[in-house]
Amino acid sequence: MSKAHWALFVDNTSRKDLLVDAILEQKAPAGFEALNGLKGSLFSKRVLERFIDKEDRHGTRLINSDRDQTLKSMSSGEQKKALLKHLLGTKPDFLILDNPFDNLDIGSQEKLRHQLKEVSEEISIVQLVSRKTDVLPFIDTFARLEGSHIRFYKNKSEALSSSNGQGLMGEVPQAPYRYEIEDDVLIRLNDVCVKYGEKPILQNIDWTIKKGEFWELRGNNGSGKTTILSMITGDNPKGYGQDLHIFGHKKGSGESVWEIKKLIGYFTPSITDKFTGYHSVEHMVISGLTDSIGLYVRPTEIQLRLAQEWLRLIGLWDVKDELFHDLTMGQKRLVMCARAMIKHPPLLILDEPTAGLDDASAALFVTLVNKFAKESDTTTIFVSHRKEPGLDPDFVYQLEMDTDGSKGRVL
Ligand SMILES: Nc1ncnc2c1ncn2[C@@H]1O[C@H](COP(=O)(O)OP(=O)(O)OP(=O)(O)O)[C@@H](O)[C@H]1O
């Protein structure tokens, strides 16, 4: 008998953690009762992060003992492959997949899709999905999670034609202050090569980024995007000894990493997911001006006004007094992005910022980024595997993998 499979559309309001816990604890809600009494496993970014944290703390390989590389240093595609293999090894009756294709390039998505098709013949699948294009083809039951409420669709075509749109309201708020950076060239990588052990990752990378430019950094999983970004932000020692200039300083010429970090706004979804503090939404946004997490002194009038403008822009003014902790995952990410943008840093790095957002929120996000990049003096680098509809960068820097390491070119 063929297995039952569900797709559950989630958006920024969805309380998906509660639902996942209920299903895994044999308290599946109406429509999912068939899963009660069965053994389930969760495939999600959070589960992966928990394994990475455990590896860090205990120094042991938990789900990738067949590799001599840490889970943390693997590319997203490699990590997801290791997690799926591990979960299948526990012989579950069903798998809950939380946006499995996020952070994967097209090739890795195809491989995972193929693998899941095979898995689906033996194991039921519940796919939590934000993007309609991600729905697995063998799924036959469709629903949407609105808050904690599940609404079932009559059929696939009703599910795929539904919309949950929202708009971007207002202009990008003004910069609170100006940074004095003399050089017109913000970042320059000249003939940069990186190897990990014997494995070449980047070869002869030349990339010049000027003030105010809007770049998209593209490349398949494992092509070295994170490696380049972490050399720029100072988090990767491979940057030393290379011809790499940041804000007019040559890397390793005695520049202060802290001073450089103050000039960079950085947003990546996984940072957001780790914040657990009890701060109001409004204070989280304002704390982008003070380089702290949350706020420990009374905000000024100007700070409050700016936060109001940003929260109105991203449609979250109504929840300004709620605890950041209590927001949905999608709302938290929008808040953290506004927090990275509020001071108009000279350089803003958005690392896979739309991962985990539903179609409407991703479109809103892209509109915000386009607008911010055009209307501010900030240099923006947007990293994504997914070709984001509507993203309008000035330039694309494409990494292309090769046996001697990735080469880069400007498209
Ligand atoms: N510390 C490390 N030790 C060994 N190999 C590493 C280390 N860090 C990264 N790598 C390897 O370098 C390659 C490039 O990794 P990187 O994370 O920069 O790629 P990426 O383009 O950002 O990938 P993704 O899109 O999946 O995040 C990968 O094959 C990865 O396994």
List, for residues 186-238, the tens digit of each pLDDT value. Answer: 999 999 999 998 899 999 999 999 999 999 999 988 899 999 998 898 888 88
List, chain by chain if needed, residues with CB within 6 Å of any ligand 1 atom: 69, 73-78, 196, 201, 219, 221-227
**What are the CA-CA distances from residue 393 to residues 74, 291, 348, 350 (Å)?**
28, 27, 13, 13
Q: How far is CA 275 from the centre of its chain?
A: 14
Among the atoms of ligand 1, which is closest to the Cα of residue 103? 25
Pocket probe mutation, ligand 1, options 80, 104, 223, max atoms within 8 Å of Cβ:
223
Which atom, in ligand 1's list, is nearest to the CA of 227? Answer: 18
- The more confident residue out of 41 and 167 is 41
Q: Which domains, and CATH codes, for the chain?
A: 5-161 (3.40.50.300), 185-410 (3.40.50.300)
Closest CA to 21 of 3, 5, 4, 44: 44
pLDDT in tens, 320-330: 998 988 887 66
Q: How many A from CA of 230 to the centre of ligand 1? A: 11
Q: Quote ipTM for the complex.
A: 0.97
pLDDT of amino acid 308: 93
**Cα 49 to averaged position of ligand 1 atoms, centre (Å):** 16
Residues above pLDDT 90, as percent of the chain: 42
| Inter-residue contact 100 to 127 (CB < 8 Å) | yes
Of 92-96, 244-248, 387-391, which gets the smallest average pLDDT? Answer: 387-391
pLDDT tens digit sequence for 67-86: 677 888 888 888 888 899 89
CA-79 nearest atom, ligand 1: 26
Q: What is this structure's pTM? A: 0.70
